Amino acid sequence: MKHSVTEVVLQNGARGLLLHIPDATVMTYEMNFRAGEYLVSKEKWEAPHIMEHVLLGANELIPKARHFQAEFEKNGAYCNASTGTYDITYEAECADFEWDRILGLLMIAITKPLFLQDEFEAEFGNVREELTARSNNHFRHLSLALREAYGFAVLTDQKRLLMMKNVGLEDIRKHYSGTHTTSNMRFVIAGQLPPARRKVIRQLLGATELPKGDDRLELPHEVPQKLSSPLYIPNNMVENLYFYIDTFMSRRMRDPESDALSLINTMLTETLYSRILGSAREQGLVYSMSSGFGQTRDNSNWWFGAQVMPKNAPKLFNIILKELHAVFDGDIDDEDVTAAKQYALGRYQRSGQTAGGTAAGYSYRYFFDDVIDDYYKVPERIRAVSKNRIITIAQSMFEENIWGMGALGNAGEPVVSKLYNKLGPLWKV
């Protein structure tokens, strides 16, 4: 959607983006605090998550969770929150006509929670149910187990369930007081934002009744370690083989590099005619396959993953090796690069059709490192990706020999070890 961006830096230390979307009929809010699990000990790992659940409940204005939710949602508004390793984000969306009422209620919830014992006990049970449901997701289980093995600040849902008993009401109160400060707060607000409305928002957020704190809390230093053998999670109930392949680079990518890596992902796995997935489907080997990349404070990660029948896995891995070596060798058709750019441009245009989609284009990067991506320059960045840039970043992601593979299923360790050994030559480019 057509929009303009203004960064707001308040005297209380809070800062954020106001996205003025003249044609919007809704307002969307994202309030972020650096308050994730990395800030607590493993014994108290679930404290941030349970705290987030209880916070959107009873508060000084409406001292009962159900009544607060009824008031919040009575005109169709939506609110939710999410907890991750690094952050907690509170979000809301509402019709334009009640933008100020909803923003006020959201800030009351964030700044004036009561943290009642009975609501803590109820949400404790709800979090247990949530984690139990998540633990049935085999991809999630494998991904978390792998990241823990590499040395990142994560725990599997299975371990989190065991740790929950260590968290009490005082733990969430302590975590709240140590993280919910204005200087640790970032926000992205999108919708119709004429000058008068911006002034009200600035005044409301500038008067937020939270302590100022010292500064934005720092992200952790995480250094991934190469796995000397594959991580295998046996599960006799799973007939096919879930797998992930990871490779790491000991620095964050620059924007042109991440643009190029995003494009090669499209060429390799994102469409039914892509080089890996398309070839595998032509041979009846796999239904779907994904690849992607992520970055932490100190490193970059490129991954590939799928679920495949064990008998088909060797042929699928042969295709992966063949196509990655082709990229390393520069065996990329100009027509494939052009087609991937057109696909990326179309995806970009689809992503910003709503106020929420437009906000999402800014919030991840802004919450991570206070960088404001220029949304309107994305097409220019996509068109600037060259064949040489694709080859260089692909090779760079394999140069440091920091990698690993994980698998889940009932194929057995010998099968997984053979697949792992098959991959080894990729890191000898």
Q: Specify the 3-state DSSP secondary structure of 95.
A: strand
Q: Which residue has the tokens 């060798």?
A: 329
> What is the spatial distance between Cα 260 and Cα 218, in angstroms, rounded to a whole number?
28
**Domains delineated in the chain:** 4-206 (3.30.830.10), 231-428 (3.30.830.10)
Instruction: Answer yes or no: are the C-beta atoms of 79 and 108 closer than 8 Å.
Output: no
How many CB atoms sit inside 10 A of residue 307's CB? 20
Instruction: Answer yes or no: are the C-beta atoms of 332 and 258 closer than 8 Å.
Output: no
pLDDT of residue 350: 85
pLDDT of residue 353: 83
Expressed in angstroms, the distance from the first to the final Cα of the chain is 43
Q: φ and ψ at 277, to 5 degrees? A: -65, -45
Instruction: Answer yes or no: are the C-beta atoms of 300 and 253 closer than 8 Å.
Output: yes
Strand bridging mode 241-249 / 78-83: unpaired
Q: Where are the alpha helices (DSSP H) in 56-194?
A: 65-73, 99-111, 117-134, 138-150, 157-163, 169-179
Tokens read off for 175: 């975590």
Q: Among 421, 401, 427, which residue's Cα sits nearest to residue 230?
A: 421
Query: pLDDT 10s digit of each residue in the chain, 429 long?
Result: 799 999 999 999 999 999 999 999 999 999 999 999 999 999 999 999 999 999 999 999 999 999 999 999 999 999 999 999 999 999 999 999 999 999 999 999 999 999 999 999 999 999 999 999 999 999 999 999 999 999 999 999 999 999 999 999 999 999 999 999 999 999 999 999 999 999 999 999 999 999 999 999 999 999 999 999 999 999 999 999 999 999 999 999 999 999 999 999 999 999 888 999 999 999 999 999 999 999 999 999 999 999 999 999 999 999 999 999 999 999 998 888 999 999 999 988 888 788 999 999 999 999 999 999 998 999 999 999 999 999 999 999 999 999 999 999 999 999 999 999 999 999 975
Q: Exposure string (b/e) for 17-46, b if CB count within 10 Å is 16 or more?
A: bbbbbeebebbbbbbbbbbbbbbbeeebbb
How many CB atoms sit inside 10 A of residue 390's CB? 24
- What ranges make up the beta strands (E) of 255-342? 289-295, 300-308
